[in-house]
Structure 1
Amino acid sequence: MIGSFALMKQRRFLPLFTTQFLNAFNDNFYKMAVVMLATYAIYTTPQDVAWFNALVGGLFILPFFLFSALAGQLADSHDKAMMIRIIKTAEIFIMLVGAVGIWLHNVPLMLLALFAMGMHSTFFGPIKYAILPQHLEEDEVLSGTGWVEAGTYIAILGGTIAGGLIHPKIAIFGIFAVAIIGRITASYVPPAPPEKEAEGLVIDRNVFRSSWQIVNGTMHIPRLFLAILSISFFWAIAAILAAQFPPLVKDTLGADNTVATLFTAVFSVGVAIGSIIVNRLLKGHVSARYSPGSVIVMGLFVLDLWWAVGTWQHADASLMGWREFLSIRTGDRIIFDLLGIAIAGGMFVVPLYAFLTTTVAKSQTARTVAANNIVNSGFMVAATLLLSVLIGMGLTIDDTLLMVAVMCIVSALLAWRLHKACD
């Protein structure tokens, strides 16, 4: 075993870490650029903005639901390094389509590229976890997994800030450049042939049948069932919050895109902080004992956010920037609530992922992650669809926060059952 920081100097880890970092960065760079363009330049009514943001979330997640089973099978049965290079090559062409869509303000093209990026990440996701046990020693896998998780959240933050602050027509060149750099770093990932147990695995290309078989084969294991269900409720909550940030900021709080970017950045930083805190508390031991309390605290912060937003008053018709927003006392309170939600959320979800990556055979890791992605994406798509319907029926943007608070209670009950069953 080598030190945690020394892993970053190793070819068996650094190229993979850099490639997955750029992957997450570009996903969020492009998605946020599209959201900001639609929110502040294409659509004018609050209902259209809210609907578009919900659609963006649903379209990006839909491929995870449809193609995760196929992605897991391919990752377990083929050389993972070769697959990474194929996937990153495809990203370059996807970003070309997305760039044209942004340049022309063509919503169908932008959404097509967004769906394709979701598919690209669907196939990359299982690989980045399943490849670690092949390239790292057994006592280095948790450290490597921690770096991947931390890198993902930092990349989300960076991509969100870039997409929120850079003018969309300038962002075109950025997203294309990141895709090219990601393909270059992918070429340095060492070979990762399939485990012997997975050699000759017959690929079922029927996405519905294979999805059912992978989910059914994973969810019958009690600890995995409870962990995946708990994680799914968390990501459904995150999908609702992410979809509501831009319209909440613009139409309810009367703020501009810098505040919307600040919201998402605070949320990303908070999840990373929560991940660090719970890892320190657990000291490397896989346990869900802090998860039930964490999500209850998360729900309390959501309730306070709902109250703060409901009492918000902004008389000026112009959109305020982040400095003016933070100068308002309630603005500080809203940011504090968001940070609390994110920290508690990180403490809730990170230990649950450990159940998926440390309690199954190496030859099945990708398919286990794929099963989790299928169920997660199903919950997220359902949440965004429900959100769209409720908004269409007249539910206000800020009142959707009450729905999130109720979902936190359900998540706490599931996490409690997991804790009692496995700890």
Structure 2
Amino acid sequence: MTTSTRLLTRKRFMPLMVTQFFNAFNDNLYKTALVLFVVYSVYNDEKQEAFFSGIASLLFILPFVLFSALAGQLADTHDKAAIIRRVKLCEIGWASLGAIGLFMAWQGIAVHTFAIPLLLGVVFLAAVQSAFLGPIKYAILPQHLKKDEVLPGTGLVEAGTYIAILTGTILAGFMIDAIEYVIGLIILTAIAGYFVSRWVPDAPPQGNHELHFPLLEPYAEKVRNPVLRWLGYAPVAIADQIVMSWKLVKKTRDNREIWFAIIAISFFWTIGAVLFIQFPPLAKNQLLATPEVASLFLVIFSVGIAVGSVAINALLKGEVSARYAPICVVIMGFFLIGFYFVSRAWIPNEAGELLPIQLWILEPLAIPLSLILLGISTAGGMFVVPLYAFLTTRCAPDAASRTIAANNIVNSLAMVIGSAVAIGMTALGIPVAEQLLLAAGMTVVSAWLGKKLHAAEIAAAPAFS
């Protein structure tokens, strides 16, 4: 029995993986269904569609910037399993609001004035939940797993996450014409996720850290009037988190391995953010395909990440190393260039109609395009998974959650910049297909960062031998 297979039978690991699976599944079921429904059923203009997709992505990223520092503090100062259970309970709330928004949009009730703003607001709430779970899903692993199980465990969590993304994305695409079933499934998944989370073993804090708010505490003492205190609480609390985030990120720069891993991961997810923004309008307008094909693109990307996650673990034989990172991301860049050229060479069907997946797949360039996309994501998965393992194995045990939080902050800022650039390029009238070259160019920087990380790894090798 392999290490990975053995972990799947252990209570110290399996409930966490299933909880994360349900979380990723529900996030992507909701977000994908929302974007595909609006792109295909509400708007009829590529610029509006790409803009909406970009706004939804920005709202999903923003909470990671605002709340990751607090999430990291909470995870390092409180029982991680208890936080998971409370956050999963909150998921039932946002899932219910999202179901209301989808129902209103489906029935044509106040679509632009209320339903779409509500749906986008729920995207933000779902991201807040993910921001609080983000530092825990990796930081809890060294607490429950043995040293030689951390990399296989990280790979399994990563692979399981992308299988969940795959499943949620498939169902969102294929159930988009039966939105009432999507509505029910979102609520049921939230409930199931909460009950599974109750089986995650306790993970008490390691160390003597205390939760503190340096800006908020003096403010609360000085302002005696409760009304004024509550009115001022939110902006001061947000400012507090920004200050904490900056300090948290600054502290990670002391460890070159962790810092280069964070920057390399950030560039990878910026590439992913740009691609995910472009897939729905690209499928609809360039490839003349139905929502199922847009969903297929997201599925293929997720499958590739999962395959890459498992493949790199087999290649490294459980060792945490970045030695294959530069070549993997260079290969990813070549696949992206190939994806661009095949997309540009696509000849629309003579009728000019949106093709369902069973007809689209018969188009001459459909299979090559799909295989190239699989190559992009597989190479990407092989690049990014060892980098996550660096974050939890190269830091102090009592700082793992804050290290992951710092990673989430930098990742999110990079993705915000990438999404904003993509939105700006759309506003300037640059076709969606041309924007693929932006993602290809970014892999050059990622390869350089991967090389720097490997150099730092070699320099620090005696400390971990």
Structure 1-normalised TM-score?
A: 0.97
Q: Which residue of structure 2 aligns with residue 319 of structure 1? A: 354
Q: Which residue of 2 aligns with 1:356?
A: 391
**Displacement of 1:365:** 0.4
Return the alpha-carbon distance in structure 2 between the equivalents of residues 46 and 4 of structure 1.
44
Q: What is residue 386 of structure 1 aligned with on the other side? A: 421
Instruction: Tell me what 1:287 maps to.
Output: 321
Per the alignment, residue 111 of structure 1 pairs with 120
Quick one: which of 143, 149, 160 aligns to 2:158?
A: 149
1:170 alignment partner AA: Y
Tell me the equivalent position of 2:54.
54
Range 412-421 or range 305-314, more displaced? 412-421
Equivalence for 1:416: 451
Maintained 8 Å contact 1:129/1:357: yes
Where does residue 40 of structure 1 map in the other structure? 40
The structure with more radius of gyration = 2
Question: Structure 2 CA distance, aligned partners of 1:3 and 1:266?
Answer: 27
Task: Please state if 1:86 is matched with 2:97.
Answer: no
- 1:278 aligns to 2:312 (yes or no): yes
Residue identity in the other structure for 2:378:
I
Match of 1:370 among 405, 411, 414: 405
CA contact (8 A) 2:289 2:355 kept: yes
- Tell me what 2:186 maps to: 175
Q: Tell me how far apart the structure 1 counterparts of residues 434 and 269 of structure 2 sit (CA, whole Å).
A: 19
Deviation per CA, 1:60-93, whole angstroms, max 9, x where unpaired? 0110111100000000100111111110111000
Q: Segments of 4+ in structure 1 off by > 6 A? A: none
Residue in structure 1 matching 2:212, options 198, 202, 218: 202
Note the aligned Cα RMSD (angstroms): 1.5
* CA–CA separation in structure 1 for the residues paired with 2:347 and 2:95: 40
Counterparts of 1:410 and 1:141, CA distance in 2: 28
The one-letter amino acid paired with 1:96 is S
Query: Secondary structure of 2:361's partner?
Result: helix
**Does the 8 A contact of 2:152 with 2:318 survive in 1?**
no
Alpha carbons of structure 1 residues 198 and 29: separation in structure 2 relative to 1, 3 Å: farther
- Measure, in 2, the Cα distance between the counterparts of 1:2 and 1:296: 31
CA distance 1:127–1:203, change in 2 (3 Å): farther
**C-alpha separation between the residues in 1 aligned to 2:334 and 2:151?**
31
Q: 1:201 Cα deviation (Å)?
A: 4.4
The corresponding residue for 1:131 is: 140
- Match 1:258 to one of 278, 281, 292: 292
Query: Partner letter of residue 238 of structure 1?
Result: G
For 1:368 and 1:198, the matched residues in 2 are separated by 17
Find out whether 1:337 has 2:346 as its counterpart: no
* Range 4-13 or range 333-342, more displaced: 4-13
Compare 408-417 and 130-139 and name the one that shifted more: 130-139
Q: Distance in 1 between matches of 2:132 and 2:453?
A: 29
Cα 1:11/1:203, change in 2 over 3 Å: farther
Q: Which residue is equivalent to 1:400? A: 435
**Residue 66 of structure 2: aligned partner:** 66
Task: Give, as a single letter, the amino acid of the residue that structure 1 aligns with 2:195.
Answer: I
CA distance in 2, matches of 1:401, 1:308: 11
Q: Are the counterparts in 2 of residues 16 and 186 from structure 1 also a CA contact under 8 Å?
A: yes
Match of 1:302 among 332, 336, 349: 336
Does the Cα contact within 8 Å between 2:95 and 2:190 map onto a contact in 1? Answer: yes
State the distance in 2 between where 1:143 and 1:417 align. Answer: 24
CA contact (8 A) 2:273 2:415 kept: yes
Distance 1:312 1:3 in 2: 45
Structure 1 residues 341 and 33, CA gap change in structure 2 (3 angstroms): same
What is the identity percentage for the equivalent residue pairs of Structure 1 and Structure 2?
A: 47
Letter of the 1:200 counterpart: E
Unaligned runs of 5+ in 1: none
Residue 3 to residue 225, structure 1, CA distance change in 2 (3 Å): closer
Q: Pairwise mapping of residues 17-32 of structure 1 onto structure 2 (< 5 A)?
A: 17-32=17-32
How far is the alpha carbon of 1:215 from its aligned partner?
0.3
Which residue is equivalent to 1:224? 258
Amino acid at match of 2:364: R
Deviations 1:365-411 (A, max 9, x none): 00000000000000001111111111001110000011111111111
SS at match of 2:433: coil
Offset at 1:420? 2.3
Structure 1 residue 12: deviation in Å?
Answer: 2.0
1:191 aligned to which of 197, 202, 210: 202
Aligned pair count reads 422
2:101 and 2:414 mapped to 1: Cα distance? 29
**Equivalents in 1 of 2:277, 2:416: separation in Å?**
11
Q: CA deviation at 1:325?
A: 1.8
Return 5+ residue gaps in structure 2 as ranges. 106-114, 215-236, 459-465
Shift of 1:183: 0.7
1:219 positional shift: 2.0
Range with bigger deviation, 201-210 or 338-347: 201-210
Deviations 1:123-163 (A, max 9, x none): 01111122222223333333322221111111111111111
Report which stretch shifted further, 13-22 or 398-407: 13-22
1:321 CA displacement:
1.5
Change beyond 3 A, Cα 1:162–1:339? same
Specify the code of the residue in structure 2 equivalent to 1:37. Answer: F
Contact (CA 8 Å) 1:34, 1:168: kept in 2 or not?
Answer: no
Residue 199 of structure 1: how far off its partner (Å): 4.2
Counterparts of 2:18 and 2:36, CA distance in 1: 27
Instruction: Give 2:168's aligned residue.
Output: 159
